[in-house]
Structure 1
Amino acid sequence: MSTQPVQTSVDARGIIAQRDLVVDLIRTACVVLVVIVHVTMVGIAADDAGIRVTSPLQQADWYVPATWVGQVMPLFFVVGGFASAVGWRSTLARGGGARDWYATRLVRLFRPAVPLLVVLALGLGVTTALGTPADLLATVAFGIGSPLWFLAAYGITQCCVPLMARLHASAPWRTLGMLLLLAGLVDAVRLTTGVADVGLLNLGPVWLFAQQLGFLWADGWFRQRSRALLAVVAVLTYAVTVPITLVGLWSPDMLQDLNPPMLPLALLAVAQVCLVQVLHAPLSRLMHARAAQGVVFLLGRDGMTVYLWHLPLFIALNGIALFIGVPFPAPGSATWWATRAVAVVVVLATALAVARGLRWFDRPLPRLVPGSDRPAWPVVALAVLCTVGPAFVVMQLHLSFGVAVLGAVLVPIGVWLLSRTVPAAGVTRI
């Protein structure tokens, strides 16, 4: 057993839940890697032919193999499952329930998105009124809005935590097996019918499977296995996943298998969590260093805001550079690749500055005071639709002025509804 620094709390069943700082490290690393992928995926070409948006990363010969490393969303949902297991047990320990869970988790997830959606609605409205070419605006809006799919997928998994926690407590392996089977069945129907939208059903099984792995992680299951066994499981998982992506059923491009999520991502989650535990000891020693803790705290504290804002800011910074006449290297050239490290640092620094300015939106929902309660179930259900719904629409229809306005109106309403407290049953005043 490793000697990682932890915080401990006791859940409603008396189980000690540990805050593993390696989890914080992985969560932060995933956000940074997403920023790196997007910065290397978007290339701006400005020449006599006009302004064009290209994707140098996807044109590279090594792109497809690199997606097996760069596709970290399965691991992100595993880490989310770890945090959800600890958070749900803490909710139960202090006497809360499902409505309290929905309010606290969804407010923490969607409130940071409110200023972004307002800015996007205003920005797209202004640029449309100024006569920006429709094809260029659509390309830019598609890129800016692409990370918002995460709000829909993660919001769905968070809404399922109370149910999935009960299933995990009673039958963890049967639950994992059923989710994996459902993911395979959804893909089979999608592949045989050719109806791509059928794959949307896998927003449940694939990401919930990864979340359940996070529950196992929080239980200490992976920590109790030998590194040799976990390494074997990871190798065997890759040995299964790689061939099935080479026969035409699924793409070997792990980013292409993301939306809608497909079975290979569930298998990738198994391999990734096993490899993290294999490397847990050195990662834990790293997190003992004050410098590492400082970096993780700096980036991880504002992780959601950085994730939401990094692409809009990257596009805006490129627009400013074009306006003031900064020379742009040809996308994909040696000079362009050499400047990517600088671009990543600039985007992260700018996103952190924005996050500091928007810290008010990233505050957690206060805990209930004695005699108060969260809104009634119908109100919570309406709030879930108001928050998760617009993100789902972005995922399906892509970002546009109308979709941005929809989100800018509904998401704040949903957050406000979840933030309200009411007198508990039988209590006349708070």
Structure 2
Amino acid sequence: MDGDEHRPLSRAEQVDAATPDSRNRVVDFLRAAAITVVVLGHWTIMAVSVDGGLQPHGVLDQARWTHPLTWVFQVMPIFFLVGGYSNALSWRSARRRQEGYASWLRTRLRRLGIPLLPLLLTWLVICTLALALGAPAQTVRLASQMALIPTWFLAAYLLVIVLAPACLVLWERFGWYSIIGGVVLAGLVDALSITTGQPLLGYPNYVLVWAAFHQFGYAWLDGRLAGAGRRLVLAAIGAAGLVLLVGPGPYPVSMITAGTDAISNSNPTRVTMAFLGMMQAGLVLLAERPLTALLRRPRVWLVTVLLNRRIMSWFLWHLTALVGLAHLLVALDAQTLLPQPLTGTWWATRPLWCLALLAITGVIVLVVGRFEDPRADDRPAPALWRPVLAAALVCAGLAVMATSGMVGSDGVNWVWPLLPVVGLLGLGMVRLRP
């Protein structure tokens, strides 16, 4: 026993011992698990072949039986659930320290924005060089669009962060009614957008749906979702809402955009995503107690911590790895390595495909991961307009690029990738000097 008492602690044990008892480890686990599902899902649904090239939603377009599976693999609501928990915790802590909104928002912008800058600048260089070397504009446009798909989430999430303190006030004053009101408004926006056939009219739901659902994270933090009964009710409400909306309602089954569907549940965000989130949140929170016990194991907790430490890099760069490998293999006419999508050979080789992409992305993360460890920013709080304008510029640029990439008919659309750069660097959210 004496030998055990005096042996050096392993790294896993050191990390475990350094974690405060007050930390909810399930929040970190769900964030890491969700990013893993997103990455593997993107690597699977995007089919690649020598004849067809890169097909963004090839599996969903060619195999409708996969559409119900998106109720499991579309896990963006989980990000907003844990985001609500974390943002409420962070803002309340800032209030106790008497830290103002401007300083708090700058900190959140830095956390999201600093890892983003290398991705945008890298793709600016790629697009410029590819077009200069004679690559077809449409090919480069699609490549940049596919690589930058993750930026739609950042745009939506950043908008919710900007509104998080105000939404927390609504939650603290009105409770569940603040969520119900947001979902009802989102339903009215959908009704207008769908009946008029104008998807653009549905874009306010990027804010309404996610800001409303984000508040379930507040409810989790405040103990308003404690107990198996409440969590079962939440899951049942979500499941019933989904069944009604995709059954007799006008919404498609797939929670991820498919080219064969007239309406998309995710572009723009529809009220279906709020009900999907309720179902998922209720189910995953039912597992909170066993997950908490599991995460008390030092090795499991170490893996969770390591994934969270580089989570932005994995998320932002995993599709760049796919786009790069896909174009290389197509250029080499590597038909043996690119079996026809949805054949038996194609399904059998998906684990190898994912392992290859995992290795490539891992190398990229080793290079760019340091941008997730910026130095502390001890500057005085900025004027309020600066972080608010910076957030608006970042959201505007990312929203356009997530839809149309960086290349248009006239070449590189410099304005969209430069908007986030101007917002983060030009408005002083990120310091250029060390």
Give the SS at the match of 1:95.
Answer: coil
> Are 2:55 and 1:46 aligned?
no
Q: Give the drift of 1:39.
A: 0.8
The one-letter amino acid paired with 1:271 is M
Q: Give the drift of 1:161.
A: 1.2
Measure the CA separation in 1 of the matches of 2:362 and 2:301. Answer: 17
The one-letter amino acid paired with 1:221 is R
Any residues of structure 2 matched to 1:316-331 within 5 Å, and which?
316-323=324-331, 326=334, 327=336, 328-331=338-341
> Are 2:351 and 1:347 aligned?
no
Give the SS at the match of 2:203.
Answer: helix
Q: Give the drift of 1:338.
A: 1.9
1:75 is matched with which residue?
A: 78
2:149 is matched with which residue?
A: 146
Structure 2: gaps (5+ residues): 1-15, 258-264
Give the SS at the match of 1:44.
Answer: strand
Measure the CA separation in 2 of the matches of 1:388 and 1:61. Answer: 33
The one-letter amino acid paired with 2:206 is L
2:395 is matched with which residue?
A: 388
1:15 is matched with which residue?
A: none
1:35 is matched with which residue?
A: 39
Q: Give the drift of 1:403.
A: 6.5
Contact 2:233 2:282 in 1 (8 A): no
Measure the CA separation in 2 of the matches of 1:170 and 1:405. Answer: 44
Q: Give the drift of 1:37.
A: 1.2
2:260 is matched with which residue?
A: none
1:19 is matched with which residue: 15, 20, 23? 23
Measure the CA separation in 1 of the matches of 2:218 and 2:37. Answer: 24
Name the stretch that deviates more: 74-83 or 351-360: 351-360
Give the SS at the match of 2:50.
Answer: strand
2:345 is matched with which residue: 335, 339, 362? 335
Q: Give the drift of 1:374.
A: 1.9
> Are 2:368 and 1:358 aligned?
yes
1:190 is matched with which residue?
A: 193
RMSD over aligned CA atoms reads 2.5
Is the alpha carbon distance of 1:406 and 1:100 closer, same or farther for their aligned partners in structure 2, counting shifts above 3 Å?
A: same
2:126 is matched with which residue: 116, 123, 127? 123
Q: Give the drift of 1:349.
A: 3.5
Give the SS at the match of 2:149.
Answer: helix
Deviation by residue 1:317-337 (Cα, 9 ceiling, x = unmatched): 233344556432222222222
1:400 is matched with which residue: 407, 412, 416? 407
1:57 is matched with which residue?
A: 59
Measure the CA separation in 2 of the matches of 1:33 and 1:21. Answer: 19
Measure the CA separation in 1 of the matches of 2:412 and 2:372. Answer: 23
The one-letter amino acid paired with 1:273 is A
Contact 1:186 1:201 in 2 (8 A): yes
Is the alpha carbon distance of 1:248 and 1:273 closer, same or farther for their aligned partners in structure 2, counting shifts above 3 Å?
A: closer
1:243 is matched with which residue?
A: 244
Q: Give the drift of 1:93.
A: 2.1
1:271 is matched with which residue?
A: 279
Is the alpha carbon distance of 1:300 and 1:415 closer, same or farther for their aligned partners in structure 2, counting shifts above 3 Å?
A: same
1:109 is matched with which residue: 96, 112, 126? 112
1:415 is matched with which residue?
A: 424
Contact 2:202 2:270 in 1 (8 A): yes
Measure the CA separation in 2 of the matches of 1:56 and 1:295. Answer: 32
Is the alpha carbon distance of 1:301 and 1:78 closer, same or farther for their aligned partners in structure 2, counting shifts above 3 Å?
A: same
Contact 1:390 1:403 in 2 (8 A): no
Identity of matched residues, %: 31
> Are 2:314 and 1:306 aligned?
yes
The one-letter amino acid paired with 1:171 is F
Give the SS at the match of 2:254.
Answer: coil
Contact 1:54 1:331 in 2 (8 A): no
Give the SS at the match of 1:376.
Answer: coil
Measure the CA separation in 1 of the matches of 2:272 and 2:18. Answer: 32
> Are 2:395 and 1:374 aligned?
no
Q: Figure out how many residues of one structure are paired with residues of the other and give that number.
A: 403
The one-letter amino acid paired with 1:405 is W
Is the alpha carbon distance of 1:148 and 1:392 closer, same or farther for their aligned partners in structure 2, counting shifts above 3 Å?
A: same
Measure the CA separation in 2 of the matches of 1:381 and 1:195. Answer: 29
Measure the CA separation in 1 of the matches of 2:412 and 2:383. Answer: 28
Measure the CA separation in 1 of the matches of 2:18 and 2:235. Answer: 26
Is the alpha carbon distance of 1:94 and 1:356 closer, same or farther for their aligned partners in structure 2, counting shifts above 3 Å?
A: farther
2:178 is matched with which residue?
A: 175
Q: Give the drift of 1:228.
A: 3.8
Q: Give the drift of 1:386.
A: 2.7
Measure the CA separation in 2 of the matches of 1:6 and 1:258. Answer: 39
Name the stretch that deviates more: 23-32 or 397-406: 397-406
The one-letter amino acid paired with 2:418 is V
Is the alpha carbon distance of 1:359 and 1:138 closer, same or farther for their aligned partners in structure 2, counting shifts above 3 Å?
A: closer
Contact 1:99 1:377 in 2 (8 A): yes
Q: Give the drift of 1:141.
A: 2.7
Give the SS at the match of 2:252.
Answer: coil
2:165 is matched with which residue: 162, 167, 170? 162
Q: Give the drift of 1:213.
A: 0.5
Deviation by residue 1:371-428 (Cα, 9 ceiling, x = unmatched): x52221232333223322211222454442667633443323322334369xxxxxxx
Q: Give the drift of 1:45.
A: 1.1
Contact 1:5 1:288 in 2 (8 A): no
> Are 2:297 and 1:281 aligned?
no
Is the alpha carbon distance of 1:403 and 1:393 closer, same or farther for their aligned partners in structure 2, counting shifts above 3 Å?
A: farther
Measure the CA separation in 2 of the matches of 1:259 and 1:55. Answer: 13
Contact 2:183 2:212 in 1 (8 A): yes
Structure 1: gaps (5+ residues): 10-17, 422-430
Give the SS at the match of 1:146.
Answer: coil
What is the TM-score when the length of structure 2 is the normalising length?
Answer: 0.86
Contact 1:121 1:404 in 2 (8 A): no
Any residues of structure 2 matched to 1:80-99 within 5 Å, and which?
80-99=83-102
Is the alpha carbon distance of 1:232 and 1:336 closer, same or farther for their aligned partners in structure 2, counting shifts above 3 Å?
A: same
The one-letter amino acid paired with 2:276 is L
